[in-house]
Structure 1
């Protein structure tokens, strides 16, 4: 996404000022970066917010200075704190994998959920969408347990180990993203449960699609980060041309379910298609 955004901006002859959060959730670095951009009198900011609320005040400060601020990948809370958001409809993505999981479920389903901070727009949307798609809620007896992760392989593994220790009958697992799913699979395999627990996720990165092909992940909802960056740059171009702002709220950049075990009523593509359309590096 970052490369696509930068490439699209430079192709228009723009100067690009960049800054990155040091770790997931590192909003302090982003606040400082936005302050620096304001002081440097930038015309627009494309922001992938590390926290949905911590950047609202500094974004307001930028917008009050006439700087266009659009978010990508995830939104601020409230979503109209930015001029526009270009991202996956994470509720829809979660709903896709929830529908697939429900259609693929064993006769006595027991669900485990590996989340990220649910105040995060993407994490909350995927979590709620999965439950909606499955046709249940987090208080249902179908849901054996939930655990927070940091969206990484190692925290996915440790959280899954803990869930399996408390609820060894778990046979369906929702994961916030594919690194978490990969870590969870390691815990499942180490327990001798490979092939007995179905994993679903969201991302569509190359490694995640390869995990679908290998049978590690049953289904994943592929998103398209390059579209997010490219559409954000086009929104900036329109603003610089004549002051036109993007529509407020979410512009959905699309989602496709990737699985090699299709189910009736849920449109999907195979891992072979996914490996031709993935994002990220091998």
Structure 2
């Protein structure tokens, strides 16, 4: 056999080996609510980083907009066809997505919910997420301490009816503020005597501004605003400033995005509960690779952590300052 034959055989062997490696490469899918929200942009970044470290192939997709269930159903089907052994998903519709998840699991695909649970929660193999009740609890405790015994007139700018994350944050906030009868198991948005207005913001700045304007018309004496996230908080602040009330009203929120922490540093938000999408997605990919290689499934709930951020700390409420918040934030 001459040198040329050896070269050809060696090349064929190398190609075969490369094909075997590609065939054995774990395939993990990530489906977010949208492509543009900074939270999900950071989640995608975390997933890609983990996939690169693990030598896995990452497939990504998203709904066209918040609430687009059909887009996520199509993404699940496409990822199964592409050989995904694990799919990570932030459900746009926690109930409507369940049949597609059941179909995936029946075909041997492990499904992990990130950030938002499916309904029922055990429709997925596992949930990797912020403890949203705890996030609300932290800002509720902070607000109670910061008011220092002053009577509260509260506006809550919530997400939209029935969303489990919105319910958990809202109820956690009221529990932290002192409502002993509200727990993580309370069904639906709770209300206490201090709450003078409840409105849906859909987590959007423009809708948050409109919701705050409507609340001020109902009760111009509002002195505390809870918002589902920091874009809604920015909208609330715009409404308060236009009414000349921004200095007499405290805003507390949840997320810990970079824009939100900058707003906190500027005095727009008094405190926010920071969550960690990079960690959620990274751990999800790691679990997907383990399943693809060993068949061992993740199960149950994994708390990915939350930290109270404020530049005006309150006694008895653990917090970190905006410098820490900016070092751990996400988005632009």
Greater mean alpha carbon deviation, residues 55-64 or residues 39-48: 39-48
Please identify the structure whose Cα radius of gyration is greater: 2
Task: Tell me whether 1:256 sits opposite 2:312 in the alignment.
Answer: no
Q: Find the counterpart in structure 1 of residue 97 from structure 2.
A: 55
CA separation of 1:204 and 1:152: change in aligned 2, threshold 3 A = same
Q: Quote the offset at 1:118 in angstroms.
A: 4.0
Unmatched 5+ residue regions in structure 1? none
Q: Find the counterpart in structure 2 of residue 276 from structure 1.
A: 327
Q: Quote the offset at 1:208 in angstroms.
A: 0.4
Counterparts in 2 of 1:4-153, with a 5 A limit?
Answer: 4-105=46-147, 107-136=150-179, 138-153=190-205
Partners of 2:213 and 2:239 within 8 A in 1? yes
Kindly tell me the number of residue pairs found equivalent between the two proteins. 280
Task: Tell me whether 1:179 sits opposite 2:222 in the alignment.
Answer: no
Q: Find the counterpart in structure 1 of residue 217 from structure 2.
A: 165
Greater mean alpha carbon deviation, residues 34-43 or residues 1-10: 34-43
Partners of 2:138 and 2:173 within 8 A in 1? yes
Task: Report the aligned-residue RMSD.
Answer: 1.3
Cα deviation per residue 1:193-250 (whole Å; 9 max; x = unaligned)?
01100000000000000011000000000001100001101111221221111122x2
Partners of 1:52 and 1:119 within 8 A in 2? no
Cα deviation per residue 1:120-141 (whole Å; 9 max; x = unaligned)?
2221110111111111364322
Q: Find the counterpart in structure 2 of residue 245 from structure 1.
A: 297
Q: Find the counterpart in structure 2 of residue 212 from structure 1.
A: 264
Unmatched 5+ residue regions in structure 2? 1-42, 183-189
Which runs of structure 1 show a deviation greater than 4 angstroms over 4 or more consecutive aligned residues? none
Q: Quote the offset at 1:149 in angstroms.
A: 1.3
Q: Quote the offset at 1:78 in angstroms.
A: 1.2
